[in-house]
Amino acid sequence: MPTPSTIDRLPSDILAQLQLLLQDPRVTQLEATARINEILEAEGHPERVSKSAVNRYAVKMEEVGAKLRQSREVAQMYISQVGAAPQGQTGLLINEMLRSMAFELSLKMQESDVEDPESMGATIGQLKNLALTMQRLEQSATINVKRESEIRKQAVEQAAEKAADVAQQAGVSADTIQRIRRDVLMMAG
């Protein structure tokens, strides 16, 4: 098993700072490397990052970002064709990302380009967990949509009853009250 890169061994807070530096177009990779090494020195860490390690990490992050952008574009095309409700767009996007990840993973496994079977097993486990989480999120979203619909329905029914009560107090005929109630419920339905 290969040793983790110096970037992988960075504390999470320093890694987050490196990510921010690499996202800033005003900061070169050389400047980012120097700043991270200054932070490491100031915090008493013995290791330093090299320009090539920062470059490899930046390239890897750009590849991940490109795949994410591509997945979003595919999901957006899918959403526009299906005409999904806005609250479902995130779910569709995540589904597309999971499909893409599963496809890429299966290609890698078919090519037997697996350097580390343990990490591939961990990746498969993570993909499985992501899919299960996505399923649970979609179920929760469905429950929420149903709950909101039921709340709206109850509010309309209460409004129809209130309108009928007001009409009855005003001396409106029973037939007219029934028509008011029916019309209010039909408008909401």
CA 93, CA 87: separation in Å to the nearest integer? 11
Q: For 58-114, what is each residue's pLDDT tens digit? A: 998 888 888 878 877 776 776 666 554 545 566 666 666 677 777 777 666 665 545
Structure confidence by residue, pLDDT tens digits, 103-125 = 777 666 665 545 566 666 776 77
| Domain layout of the chain by residue ranges | 1-70
Q: Are 3 and 10 in contact (CB under 8 A)?
A: no
Task: Report d(CA 50, CA 34) in Å as an integer.
Answer: 9
Higher pLDDT, 174 or 48: 48
- Residue 9's pLDDT band (cuts 50, 70, 90): confident
What's the CA gap between 6 and 12, in Å, rounded? 12
Per-residue confidence (pLDDT) for residue 179, from 0 to 100:
85
